[in-house]
Chains A and B, each alone.
Chain A
Amino acid sequence: MSESFSMNTPLTAADGVPLKTRLQQQRRMRQLKALLLVLPLALFLLLTFLVPIATLLTRSVDNPEVVSVLRETTQALKPWDGKSLPAVAVYDALSRDLQRAQAEKTVPDAAKRLNMEQSGFRSLLQKTARKIPLAPEAGQSTRDAFIALDERWGDVSHWQVIARNGSSWTPYYLMSSLDLRQGADGKPELVPEDERAFLSIFGRTLWMSFWVTVWCLALGYPLAYWLATLPTRKSNLLMILVLLPFWTSVLVRVASWIVLLQSEGLVNGALLWLGIVDAPLELAFNRTGVYIAMVHILLPFVILPAYSVMKSIPPSYMRAAISLGDHPFAAFWKIYFPQTIAGVAAGALLVFIMCIGYYITPALLGSPQEQMVSYYVAFYTNVTINWGMAAALGSLLLLATLLLYGLYSRLVGANRLSLG
């Protein structure tokens, strides 16, 4: 009896409101307060992080120029089979589009975009636009008039380029970033060998990043171990030395490496003076210099997470393994090292990710053979103002990073990622 009573009658608070409702109200209030506290940061992240990334990703496939300038032409090309010359109506549409574009001064936008895919298109379009409206002679169609003006208008490939850009989205930039193009049959194919560039740049970026990471690990792991085993007072002092480079800008550090490493630099001077070498070593403006400077700059990113993980491993683990009969070296490898993997992998991942986006060190200390993807991002952004290509390269870098992170969390487990 009493049981059914307690089950059927909802408990109420002192003022008669059901307890559940009251609890929910309180919980909602707490959540609201928490939300308000988080809101500024969330907005900041949205505006400075998520929106730019989203814009970057859209930019890499965005293709508004041709569609907006040659609106009627692209519309008219929709039913075209892509093999024979387009119908006269298409030429009429192009004539009208160009006339309007000439008035709106938007011809160069479309001309530049089309020129990317077929060189010479810029001059063709601008020349045609200046002559518009064409006055076809008697018995001549608009098509004949166009071809009479420039025989390239009778070439199917030029029309294919326009048709391909009939959508406001294009895979062109992304494909170009991977040395791919749309073949005549519309399927992706590799560009001719002498035009290929980006695959080898991506390969070089990954290869150099790999070696910088390996060197950082090889130098950073023993140092972190040493720091972790020292008494706190000494290790703090040394940790300041590790962090000291952070207090100067990367630019200054790279510049000082140039001073040190160039042919008449301090390092070569010392080596010559000591008689270790007869002629100055080539240390700067090649891959060696880039490796030296990048390892130096990125080393703390391996040391810090490794150190923090090692610091949390009490010495009794090694002692236990040794007391059980294991040789200290074997015990280190079997007991100590596995426990540091999470921190070391985090550091390595961090270094690798920073490497593949590195710009300033290769730009200043490397020859053209050392330039990595980010150099070309800067090149397309600042020099040729081709934001589509810059965004596409950036997106591919982002994708590479995400893939690496995915791989890492499969191997080590993301929840074990320890950045100290």
Chain B
Amino acid sequence: MADEVLVSFRGVQKSYDGESLIVKNLDLDIRRGEFLTLLGPSGSGKTTCLMMLAGFETPSHGEIHFDGKLLNHIPPHKRNIGMVFQNYALFPHMTVAENLAYPLTLRKMGKSEIADRVKNGLAMVRLESLGHRYPGQLSGGQQQRVALARALVFEPKLVLMDEPLGALDKQLREHMQLEIKHLHERLGVTVVYVTHDQGEALTMSDRVAVFKDGIIQQIDTASTLYESPANSFVANFIGENNTLRGEVVDLAGELCDVRLHDGALVKARRVAMLGSGEVTSMSVRPERVRLNAAAAGCENRLQARLMEFIYLGDHVRLRMEVAGQGGFIVKVPVGEVDAAWQVGDMMDVGWMARDVRALDALAA
């Protein structure tokens, strides 16, 4: 059941000007009941994918199937897909209840059924008492909850969300993230969610598809994306990342040896198909780096100069220079900070070979 495919993109391409492809050869399966996030910088093609699914854009090439039917030639109003927009798009001249009743009236439901469903819809987003208000009289968070209810009230199999929380402030956004996540878990509806906020994607999603230049770079669960990025773009786009550039000198099964510019050797997991002599960018997460005594047991140990000390309450970030490359960040819990550390100190840094991934070379 969980693996049953609800939507599939096959060889989908989209171009607006006939010269450049905004979506390049997309193959994507969306499973029934999953929460899939399309994540990427602006212009990466994620919104275009969503609009093709909703029917407001047509693919230049390829097929989209939804629930076993070819979707390409079904007009958007017959697709029965719910949609939530960034600006909420609540109809300003209708009350909240009328907004919710809109899709139900179109489906020719009886008066009492509509009233019931509107009531349940409002209860679902905990706005029971606001049915008679106009959207303009609600706060941003309330409006977004109404928009959610409206997209869900006619029980579509699929709900699309186009950066729905982009207009909210940080605190409200984090609250709404959980609320949407819980709604999804409760209703079991399939959700395709577009965002450029990686924190949002990691919090809510079953799977995240990372877009860049119209291509899905990696599609995986949040933890896989973070712990095992498939390429340098994903490593840098998701979470905080330290990049070390070097040249592959030796291959040994899953591992490889990489020589940094100052001659130091680093053992890393070989993720990209690299040959000897090729340039690589290695990725290490800041929290995987150990300092001084703790670094003793690591396969990789280097000398680093402490450049800056950034206090963040629960942890401290150390900006260091490693092997002549600046901007190397190490996260240290406050309890492990040594009061004797001074800017300019030389320290040992170390990390396990399994925690550093040799990826494709980033443009320097």
Which single member of B76, B87, B92, B150 contacts A322 (CB below 8 Å)? B76
A269 to chain B minimum Cβ distance, whole angstroms, is 43
B82 located at the interface, meaning its Cβ lies under 8 Å from any Cβ of chain A in the complex: yes
Partner of A324, one of B55, B86, B102: B102
Q: Which of A93-101, A188-196, A311-319 makes up part of the contact surface?
A: A311-319
**Is chain A's interface secondary structure helix, strand, loop, or mixed overall?**
helix
Residue pair A339, B87 in contact (C-beta under 8 Å): no
What is the CA–CA distance of A101 and B154 in the complex, to the nearest angstrom? Answer: 90
- B69: chain A residues at CB < 8 Å are none
- Is A139 located at the chain interface by the 8 A CB criterion? no
Distance in Å: Cβ of A22 to nearest Cβ of chain B: 37
CA distance A322 to B102 in the complex (A): 11
Chain B, residue nearest A313 (CB): B92
What total of chain B residues lie within 8 Å of the partner, measured CB to CB? 27
A-chain residues with CB within 8 Å of residue B79 when the two chains form the complex = 323
- B54: chain A residues at CB < 8 Å are 319, 323
User: Looking at the complex, which one of A314, A316, A323 makes contact with B77 (CB distance below 8 Å)?
Assistant: A323
Once the chains are docked, how many angstroms separate the CA of A323 from the CA of B54? 7
| Cβ–Cβ < 8 Å partners of A417 in chain B | none
Instruction: List residues 78-95 of chain B with CB under 8 A from any CB of chain A.
Output: 78-83, 85-87, 89-93
Say whether, besides A325-B103, A325-B106, A320 and B93 are in contact (CB < 8 Å): no
Given the known interface contacts A319-B56, A321-B102, the answer about A326 and B89 at a Cβ–Cβ threshold of 8 Å is: no
Known A314-B87, A316-B87; contact A323-B93, beta-carbon cutoff 8 A: no
CB distance from B39 to the nearest CB of A (A): 21
Expressed in whole angstroms, the Cα–Cα distance for A316 and B107 within the complex equals: 21
**Does A327 touch B at the CB level, under 8 Å?**
yes
- What are the 10 tightest A-B residue pairs by CB atom distance, in nearest-first order? A320-B89, A324-B103, A323-B83, A316-B89, A316-B85, A325-B106, A322-B77, A338-B93, A322-B76, A317-B89
A298 to B226, CA, bound (A): 63
Q: How far is the CA of A325 from the CA of B54 in the complex (A)?
A: 11
B134 nearest CB across to chain A (Å): 13
Note all chain A residues with C-beta closer than 8 A to B150. 320, 324
| B80 A319 Cβ-Cβ under 8 A | no
Q: Assess whether A222 is interfacial by the CB under 8 Å rule.
A: no
Q: Is A136 an interface residue (CB 8 A)?
A: no
By a CB distance below 8 angstroms, the chain A residues around B107 are 325
Q: Which of A332-362 contact B (CB under 8 A)?
A: 335, 338-339
The residue in A320, A323, A331, A335 that gathers the most chain B C-beta atoms within 10 A of its C-beta is: A323
B residues contacting A by CB (< 8 A) are: 54-56, 76-83, 85-87, 89-93, 102-103, 106-107, 150-151, 154, 160
Say whether, besides A339-B92, A339-B93, A324 and B154 are in contact (CB < 8 Å): yes
Minimum CB–CB distance for B54 against chain A, Å? 6
A333 to chain B, nearest CB (A): 12
On chain B, the residues within 8 Å of A331 by CB distance are 77
User: Roughly how many angstroms separate A324 CA and B93 CA in the complex, as a whole number?
Assistant: 17
Which residues from chain B contact A316 at a C-beta distance below 8 Å? 85-87, 89
Residues of chain B within 8 A (CB-CB) of A335 are 91
Q: Indicate if A328 sits at the interface (CB-CB under 8 A).
A: yes
How many residues of A sit at the interface, in one of the four size bands? 10 to 19
Query: Given that A319-B54, A319-B56, A320-B89 are contacting pairs, would A327 and B77 also be in contact in the complex, using a CB cutoff of 8 Å?
Result: yes
Q: Chain B residues near A327 (CB, 8 Å)?
A: 77
Q: How far is the CA of A323 from the CA of B153 in the complex (A)?
A: 13
B83-A320 in contact (CB<8A) = yes
Q: Inside 8 A of B90's CB, which chain A residues have their CB?
A: 320
- Say yes or no: A319 contacts B92, CB within 8 Å: no
Docked-complex contact B106 and A320, CB < 8 angstroms: no
Q: Whole-angstrom distance between the alpha carbons of A326 and B82 in the complex?
A: 12
CB pair A323 B87 closer than 8 Å: no
Residue numbers in B under 8 Å from A339 (CB-CB): 92-93
User: Contact check: which of B55, B78, B89, B103 meets A314 at CB < 8 Å?
Assistant: B89
Q: Is the CB of A325 within 8 A of B77?
A: yes
Q: For the complex, give the distance between the alpha carbons of A320 and B106 in Å.
A: 13
A55 to B41, CA, bound (A): 67
Give 11 new A-B contacts, CB below 8 A, not counting A314-B87, A316-B86, A316-B89: A316-B87, A319-B76, A322-B56, A323-B76, A323-B77, A324-B102, A324-B151, A325-B77, A325-B80, A326-B102, A328-B77
Q: Which B residue sits closest to A327, measured CB to CB?
A: B77
What would 16 A/B residue contacts be, using CB atoms closer than 8 Å? A314-B89, A316-B87, A319-B83, A320-B85, A320-B150, A321-B91, A323-B76, A323-B82, A324-B103, A324-B106, A325-B77, A325-B80, A325-B107, A325-B154, A326-B106, A338-B93
Residues of A within 8 A of B83 (CB): 319-320, 323
Which residues of A have CB within 8 Å of B103? Answer: 324-325
Chain B residue at smallest Cβ distance from A318: B89
With A324-B102, A324-B150, A325-B103: A319-B91 Cβ-Cβ less than 8 Å? no
- The residue in A317, A320, A328, A335 that gathers the most chain B C-beta atoms within 10 A of its C-beta is A320
Give min CB distance, B38 to chain A, whole Å: 17
Q: For residue B55, which residues in chain A have a CB less than 8 angstroms away from its CB? A: 322-323
**Contact status A326-B77, CB under 8 Å:** yes
Interface residues of A in 32-86 (CB under 8 A from B): none
